[in-house]
Structure 1
Amino acid sequence: MEIEYKLKNLRVKVRQNSKKIMDDVLERHVPKTSLKNKSKTEICVFCSSTSNITKEHVLPKWIFQKHTEDFFITDTNESEQTYNKTTIPACADCNNNLLANIENYIIRILKNTDLKMSFFSNQEIENIIRWLEIIEYKFQILEIRRKFTKMKSADYNSYLADIPISIMRKSIDYSPNKAVAQIRIAQKRITTKSKDLNINSLLILSTKNKNFHFFHTMNDFIFLELPEYKIALFYFYSKTFKNIETAQKEAIKIVNKVY
């Protein structure tokens, strides 16, 4: 299948160029390792190419196409950012060829599956997982690139002006090393072929809600409600479960708290 070729190609590109990508992250965005005369040339965060760099949406545009002015709030500093302006650098080939084909595949299987009549195959479930893990990697890259600046509820602190948001997350104890380690973990996920152990970590639910909804916690879980396809997805990035019932109970607790 073409989708398997595209996913393999992406895995190979990220695996072969992971060191270049991480070296660029360190030099460009991490305090104490950032260079004063750092390169102004962006690189693709999937293959490290410097040619034909485009803006890749972290959440694919087709997800929020009817909600271009909608925004999400970053808990770390309470900042608002519209989905439409939430992008990272990717070369034209990775963006318009690999990622676009993967997204077109996801759209197709979502469109062609009515949960009242049928369900996804195991292969389709694994590919949805791979797609969601790509989104997590993009969020990890985004947050190391975004600067903390200030919290809405606090005065401006010039010391924090150049600190990436990811380093200011309480869950990683404000550690640059831990922030970078989480990017490496996200990188490793998308370069790992088999998703057998993660099958029960993905919940696919019917929804009658008419509005797009999204929430996400880095390296933990993601919830996407896609009203156009009457489907909601909840995926645990870092947890595996012996059965789907256990995952569902934990997910319901989170949804009831956050939704």
Structure 2
Amino acid sequence: MEIDIKLKTLRVQLRQKSKEIIDDVLNRHVSRINDKNKSKEEICVFCANKHNLTKEHVLPKWTFENCNKKFFVTEVNGSEQTYNKTTIPVCANCNNNLLASVESYIISIFNKTDLSNSFFSNEQIHNIIRWLEIIEYKFQLLEIRRKFFKSKSSQYNEYLRDIPISIMRANINYSPNKAVTQIRISQRRITEKSKASKENSLVIFKTKNENFYFFHHLNDYIFLELPKFGIALFYFYSKKFENPKDAKDKAMKIMREIYIS
């Protein structure tokens, strides 16, 4: 299948260029050296290409129906950012060829599957997982690029104003090394071919809600509710489960806590 070729190409080039991409992250976003010594030239976060760069949406526009008013709030400092302006640099080939093919495939299987009378095949489940892992990687890159000073409402030490938001997390002890390690982990997920061991980590719900809804915790989980397709997805990035019920129970507990709060 064409989608297999596209995903393999994505895996191979990211595996080959992962160190170059991480080195750029360290130099551009983590190092505290003088800005004059930092490269002004962006690179593609999937292949390290410096040419024909485009703005790739972290959440595909079709998921939030291209609404320019929908936004998410960053827990670290309460900053708000609309989905349509949430982008990272990706070259034209990776964006318009590889990632676009993955998204077209996902849209296609969502359109063809009515959870009232059918379900996804194992192969389709594996590819949904691959798609969600690509989104996680994009979020990791986004949060290392966003600076703590972008919030207008929070208080902070002036020294911290240009620290990436992804570092300012209590669960990683405010560690730059741990933040970069999580990017490496998200890269490795994409470059791993088999997703059989993660099948139970994906929970798929039928939904009748009319509005798009989303929440996400770096290197932990993602929830996407897609009313257009009557589908909601909850995926645990770092956890494996012995059976689907355990994953569903855990997902429902998190959902109840977040919906209540």
Provide TM-score, normalisation by structure 2.
0.96
SS at match of 1:60: coil
What does residue 180 of structure 1 align with? Answer: 180
What does residue 17 of structure 2 align with? Answer: 17
What does residue 231 of structure 2 align with? Answer: 231
Deviations 1:116-157 (A, max 9, x none): 111000000000000000000000000000000165554353
What does residue 96 of structure 2 align with? Answer: 96
The offset of 1:22, in angstroms, is: 0.4
Q: 1:156 to 1:238 in 2, by over 3 A?
A: closer
Work out the CA distance in 2 between the residues paired with 1:141 and 1:116: 37
How many residues are matched?
259
SS at match of 2:116: coil
What does residue 68 of structure 1 align with? Answer: 68
Cα contact 2:147–2:163 (8 A) shared by 1: yes
Q: 1:33 to 1:247 in 2, by over 3 A?
A: farther
Deviations 1:14-72 (A, max 9, x none): 00000110000000000346764211111000000001000000000111125321100
What does residue 108 of structure 2 align with? Answer: 108
SS at match of 1:149: helix
Cα contact 2:66–2:84 (8 A) shared by 1: no
Work out the CA distance in 2 between the residues paired with 1:150 and 1:68: 19
Cα contact 1:149–1:157 (8 A) shared by 2: no
Gaps (5+ residues) in structure 1? none
Greater alpha carbon shift after TM alignment, 25-34 vs 184-193:
25-34
Q: 1:41 to 1:156 in 2, by over 3 A?
A: same
RMSD: 1.3
Work out the CA distance in 1 between the residues paired with 2:150 and 2:85: 19
SS at match of 1:63: coil
Q: 1:141 to 1:34 in 2, by over 3 A?
A: farther
Please list, as runs of the form range in 1=range in 2, the aligned pairs for 1:99-248 lying within 5 A after superposition.
Answer: 99-149=99-149, 153-248=153-248
Q: 1:56 to 1:176 in 2, by over 3 A?
A: same
Cα contact 1:30–1:176 (8 A) shared by 2: yes
The offset of 1:158, in angstroms, is: 2.0
Amino acid at match of 2:12: V
Greater alpha carbon shift after TM alignment, 141-150 vs 46-55:
141-150
Cα contact 2:88–2:142 (8 A) shared by 1: yes
Cα contact 2:79–2:153 (8 A) shared by 1: no
Cα contact 1:150–1:157 (8 A) shared by 2: no
Work out the CA distance in 1 between the residues paired with 2:126 and 2:252: 22
The alignment-based identity, stated in percent, is 66
Cα contact 2:212–2:225 (8 A) shared by 1: yes
Work out the CA distance in 2 between the residues paired with 1:45 and 1:221: 21
Work out the CA distance in 2 between the residues paired with 1:167 and 1:6: 32
Deviations 1:95-131 (A, max 9, x none): 0000000000000000000001110000000000000
Provide TM-score, normalisation by structure 1.
0.97
Cα contact 1:150–1:160 (8 A) shared by 2: no
Work out the CA distance in 2 between the residues paired with 1:34 and 1:18: 25
Work out the CA distance in 2 between the residues paired with 1:218 and 1:154: 21
Gaps (5+ residues) in structure 2? none
Cα contact 1:26–1:34 (8 A) shared by 2: no
What does residue 53 of structure 2 align with? Answer: 53
